[in-house]
Structure 1
């Protein structure tokens, strides 16, 4: 299987870690979301990453769907609980972590794709507020490993990648006010070596 992604994407990183925990190999093929000539737009009409290309079957996207697919390939219950309240708890926590990454990315894109005179401070503040509220909730109640057979569940993976992205693009400013999350991330990195192995160099 091939994964279309880019090194800095927290969503692509999440899939790479999920694949490792599921015991699956992915060949990573770089994608340029801003290049109209990149084949990515034929693989995902939205032109977003990551996209999983399979030997048989249509491409799969987005990252949450890919994680669910990888978990099923591995027999189920490896990174996502199979059923019941544990499953919905992980999926809800996964949505929160992904929302933090989404809001962080939108702040970066505002500076990257808009001319200075077109940028909206209100829009950036709106996205920053989502990140702040998400981190506050998680600081008050850091994740606990769900009953899965892997070293971490999908929500934990997503949160670690979101925090890693905040380190990468926002110089780790989140750390000063969130000691419980800092400790949690250190513990996650210790039990999931794939986190460090997928750290972007950019």
Structure 2
């Protein structure tokens, strides 16, 4: 199988980490979906990464759909519980972390516009969403070592990728000082080979 993604995409990083944790071999095709001549739309009509291209040529897109598929095709390191209630916890944290990432991406894109074109109301809305999301994630983690149980799940991976994106694109946000428990989680994840190997370029 082949993964089409950008090296700086936090959603693509989530998928790459899952592939590595589950020891699934894949070919990496690095693409920039923002370029006018990008080939990404040929894999995903929405023009977004990541896209997983299966052996038969079928495209699977949206990181949440991809990781759901990957967790089923390999018995190694199950990252999404099968039991409904615990599954809901993990997928809920993933959705929350991805929502914070969405807000961060929206801020980054808005800031790329000229000052006259930027909407202060839009930026404020996204910032409020981002900070509420961080607060909710911190509350969900509490003093536990992981979001669920005694080992890493997709919830922790999604949160770690989101925090890494904040460090990359919005370094002025001092989330570590505000949420020491998220900082501890991020530091623990940073020692895993899958997180080290997928660090985005500066």
Q: Secondary structure at the match of 2:28?
A: strand
Q: Secondary structure at the match of 1:182?
A: helix
1:13-52 deviation digits (Å, cap 9, x = unpaired): 0000001111112221111212232221021111011000
Give yes or no for contact 1:101–1:162 (8 Å, CA) kept in 2. yes
Give yes or no for contact 1:189–1:196 (8 Å, CA) kept in 2. yes
Q: TM-score, normalised by structure 1?
A: 0.91
Structure 1 counterpart of 2:20: 20
Structure 2 counterpart of 1:83: 83
Give yes or no for contact 2:15–2:63 (8 Å, CA) kept in 1. yes
* C-alpha displacement of 1:173: 2.3
Structure 1 counterpart of 2:182: 181
1:135-185 deviation digits (Å, cap 9, x = unpaired): 11222231635369xx52111101000000001111152222111111121
Structure 1 counterpart of 2:119: 120
Query: How many equivalent residue pairs?
Result: 198
1:100 aligns with 2:100: yes
Aligned partners of 1:73, 1:195: CA distance in 2, in Å? 21
Give yes or no for contact 1:43–1:51 (8 Å, CA) kept in 2. yes
Structure 2, unpaired ranges of 5+: none
Structure 1 counterpart of 2:148: 146
Structure 2 counterpart of 1:10: 10
Give yes or no for contact 1:160–1:188 (8 Å, CA) kept in 2. yes
Runs of 4+ in 1 over 6 A off after TM superposition: none
Q: TM-score, normalised by structure 2?
A: 0.91
Judge which range, 172-181 or 99-108, deviates more: 172-181
Give yes or no for contact 1:81–1:147 (8 Å, CA) kept in 2. no
Give yes or no for contact 2:96–2:137 (8 Å, CA) kept in 1. no
Judge which range, 7-16 or 138-147, deviates more: 138-147
Structure 1, unpaired ranges of 5+: none
Q: Secondary structure at the match of 2:61?
A: coil
Structure 2 counterpart of 1:168: 168
1:70-98 deviation digits (Å, cap 9, x = unpaired): 11111387111123111111111110010
Give yes or no for contact 1:20–1:194 (8 Å, CA) kept in 2. yes
Aligned partners of 1:130, 1:84: CA distance in 2, in Å? 27
Structure 1 counterpart of 2:130: 131
